[in-house]
Amino acid sequence: MSSLWGSLVPLILASMFVPVQIMITLLLLRSSSGKVTAWAFAAGMTVVRLLQGAIFGLVLSNATTANADQGGPGLVLSIVLLVLGVVFLATGAKSMMTGEDPDAPPPKWLTMTEGMGPAKAFLLGGGLLLVAPKFWVFTLGAIGAIGAANLGQPSAGLTFVVFAVLAQGLTLAILLYATMAPRQSRHVLDATAQWLEDKNREIMIVIGLVFGIWFSAKGLVGLGLFS
């Protein structure tokens, strides 16, 4: 179990700190519909992640279990982690050279948040999970890690649900803060949004390098190419 969470925790943290979902959440909180719309955005992300787990979980977990070495993360999981590492390193490199986030949604997604209702926000959350490659790899990596742990049902399913919720821990914390302390949170969240906008390049470089190196090393170790 400790080995499983040793693989899941980095995936959770990497997913949690992707700046674009935090920025969209903050923008939606400042929109006309406010908290309801922001909660709908988070719900859309959660529902799609759970559907991805249900659809791809059986295939990937079976493949991972069939190829797993004793005490290792398994062939499929190792490949997924290596791919994730490369994606993060590429993101960090691109941010270093251009300042752009390759997984960021088109600019019109951000400008339309002001007049967005809950239904569109729900679809935006789900769409972000479907179009951003990193989110796909987070989910597939979690499925592979859970499959390699051979937990059986319903433990495997419950573990993935926990992953899905924790992967949005920072977004949910922001929403809870805005809901429970609307007046006090307004200034803090506005300042946070401005800071994220100003420091987006630096954040993406740090995230890309730190998680890129960690996931690449984990994948190479699992494949027996590095010890």
What is the reported pTM?
0.77
C-beta separation of 23 from 123 below 8 A:
no
Q: What percent of the chain has pLDDT over 90?
A: 17
What are the residue ranges spanned by the domains of the chain?
2-222
Q: What is the pLDDT of residue 73?
A: 47
**Tokens for 113?**
């948040």
Q: What is the pLDDT of residue 5?
A: 83
Q: How far apart are CA 128 and CA 92, in angstroms?
A: 20
Q: What is the pLDDT of residue 173?
A: 93
Range with the poorest average pLDDT among 8-12, 83-87, 223-227: 223-227
- State the angle between helix axes of 169-180 and 35-67 in degrees (0 to 180), rounded to the nearest 10: 160
Find which of 70-79, 129-138, 155-164 is predicted with most confidence, using mean pLDDT. 155-164
Residue carrying the six token digits 């803090």: 188
**Tokens for 38?**
């922001």
Q: What is the pLDDT of residue 68?
A: 47
Measured in whole angstroms, the distance separating CA 64 from the mean position of its chain's CA atoms is 21
The mean pLDDT of 81-103, rounded to a whole number, is 74
